[in-house]
Amino acid sequence: MMHQLYPQVMHPYRYELNKDMHIAAAHFIPHEAAGSCANVHGHTYIVNVTIAGDELDESGFLVNFQTIKQLVHGKLDHTLLNDHSDWFDGHDPNRFPTTEVVARTIYETIQRYLDTLPHKPTCLQVFVRETPTSYVVYRPKAGER
Ligand SMILES: Nc1nc2c(c(=O)[nH]1)N=C([C@H](O)[C@H](O)COP(=O)(O)OP(=O)(O)OP(=O)(O)O)CN2
Ligand SMILES: [Zn+2]
């Protein structure tokens, strides 16, 4: 596992949790602007998820690290991203499996899960590195949720 520094988010919460994941996956971007990336190719994505909150659950967890891994790595690792029609599609650019959309969709998936928890943790940031030279940070807009 490669360890690296991530952008920091300022927030008022007592607890901040970060989960790193490495995800081996293939994808293609179904648009001519993508050039050779319109062909199927693979990456080892490096994903970092930042979650914060003021209260812990009955286990003493803000959120179980394993649950976050299951929601993201468990879904995407060793798959073709384009095959996940519940996350991505080939017609709407906001759902092409670009780094931006991968980051936003991970955020949406995690936040949907967090919203079911009584102590209401919140996802502050999702960092997705697609290549050694390219990464995206997704943060929800203030007041969006
Ligand atoms: N804004 C985006 N631009 C590109 C994306 C993307 O998701 N969002 N994706 C791609 C390709 O999928 C490609 O895999 C990654 O692109 P790139 O950074 O060009 O990869 P390289 O390793 O070739 O980068 P170098 O720095 O030139 O080595 C393209 N664009
Ligand atoms: Zn790619």
Q: Residues 55-83: pLDDT tens digits? A: 999 999 999 999 999 999 999 999 999 99
31 labeled part of a ligand binding site:
no
Q: Can you tell me whether residue 53 is helix, strand or coil?
A: strand
Q: What is the pLDDT of residue 24?
A: 98
Sequence ranges of the domains in the chain: 18-138
- Of 27, 28, 31, 37, the one to substitute when testing ligand 1's pocket (max ligand atoms within 8 A of C-beta) is 37
For the segment(s) 18-138, the CATH number from 3.30.499.10, 3.10.150.10, 3.40.50.150, 3.30.479.10 is: 3.30.479.10
* pLDDT of res. 142: 84
140 burial type by CB count under 10 A (0-12 exposed, 13-18 middle, 19+ buried): middle
Q: Residue of the nearest CA to atom 28 in ligand 1?
A: 133
The answer to whether residue 3 scores a pLDDT higher than 80 is no
Percent of the chain, pLDDT > 70? 98
pLDDT, tens only, 5-19: 899 999 999 999 999
Angle 124-2-112 (CA atoms, 0-180°, nearest 5)? 25
Say what angle helices 65-76 and 99-114 make with each other, to 10 degrees. 140
State yes or no: 73 annotated in a binding site.
no
Q: Using the predicted structure, report yes or no on whether residue 136 has a pLDDT greater than 70.
A: yes
Query: What's residue 46's pLDDT?
Result: 97
Number of residues written out for the chain: 145
- Can you give the pLDDT at residue 144? 72
Provide residues with CB under 6 Å of ligand 1.
29, 34, 37, 98-100, 130-131, 133-134
pTM: 0.96
Mean pLDDT over each residue of the chain, to the nearest integer: 96
pLDDT at 145: 60
Question: Is 50:124 a contact under the CB 8 Å cutoff?
Answer: yes
DSSP string across 66-135:
HHHHHHHHHHHTTEEGGG-TTT--SS-GGGS--HHHHHHHHHHHHHHHHTTSTT--EEEEEEEEEETTEE
One-character DSSP codes across 14-43: SEEEEEEEEEEEEE---SGGGGGGGS-EEE
